[in-house]
Amino acid sequence: GDSVTQTEGPVTVSESESLIINCTYSATSIAYPNLFWYVRYPGEGLQLLLKVITAGQKGSSRGFEATYNKETTSFHLQKASVQESDSAVYYCALGDTNAYKVIFGKGTHLHVLP
């Protein structure tokens, strides 16, 4: 079946350090999945961080970037210099073009130390 595997947390980094959260997917029933990163900040609901619907393209938001790599079935999330306000839980997800059944990874809890 379709699945998403991402870095197990918690991940702790210091402010201004670089970050990468790995995400790989298996899409056996979806030929061209849409890929997403969602984020849940403390006290807030889960929200979309970025999405990419075309292989080879890169999405970016709030200083985060992720590139849709169909060859390695990966969609790693990166940021060059994290801030304390980036502390949150990050979820990698995939869906079909209708995307009514979005499949999520288990989430990665990120702690950024001041």
3-state secondary structure of 59: strand
Strands 88-95 and 103-104: antiparallel
- Residues 21 and 30: their CA atoms lie apart, in Å, by 23
Contact 94, 103 (CB under 8 A): yes
Q: How many helices (H) and strands (E) does the chain have?
A: 0, 12
The interface region with other proteins, picked from 16-24, 31-39, 58-66, 76-84 by CB under 8 A, is: 31-39
Q: CB 101 → other proteins: shortest distance, Å?
A: 6
Residues 38-57 as x/- pattern, contact with other proteins by CB under 8 A: x-----xxxxx--x-x----
> What residues from 78 to 97 belong to the interface with other proteins (CB under 8 A)?
91, 95, 97
Name the token pair of 12. 């702790």
By CB under 8 A, is residue 13 in contact with other proteins? no
CB nearer other proteins, residue 65 or residue 109: 109
CB nearer other proteins, residue 1 or residue 114: 1
By CB under 8 A, is residue 102 in contact with other proteins? yes
